[in-house]
Structure 1
Amino acid sequence: MHKKPYLPEKPCLHCGRPFTWRKKWERVWDEVKYCSERCRREHKQVARAAS
């Protein structure tokens, strides 16, 4: 069975849960801020409502 090596983690800006690196984020890992599309959308709504 293939074991994954250590993968970097970072916390989601919206929910605060840690999420791990994914292959599709290989080139933009520094720009990834949210663990999911749902968190990204909800964070924008909260920011808009606070303005």
Structure 2
Amino acid sequence: MSKKKIALACSVCGSRNYTITENLNRVERLEVKKFCRYCNQHTLHRETK
């Protein structure tokens, strides 16, 4: 069975910069501060479905 990939979208510009594998144990959406190359700064990235 293949694992689903989920994108992390920048909360400022909305670009989907990072992908992660889906974790079925997590009930809330993941929010991580990561570097956005379009904003050129560290911003909050949220899990998209």
Smaller-chain TM-score bracket: 0.3 to 0.5
Decide which structure has greater helix share.
1
Which has the greater radius of gyration?
1
- Give the structure-1-normalised TM-score: 0.33
- Give the structure-2-normalised TM-score: 0.33
Which of structures 1 and 2 has the larger relative contact order (alpha carbons within 8 angstroms, sep 6+)? 2
Decide which structure has greater strand share.
2
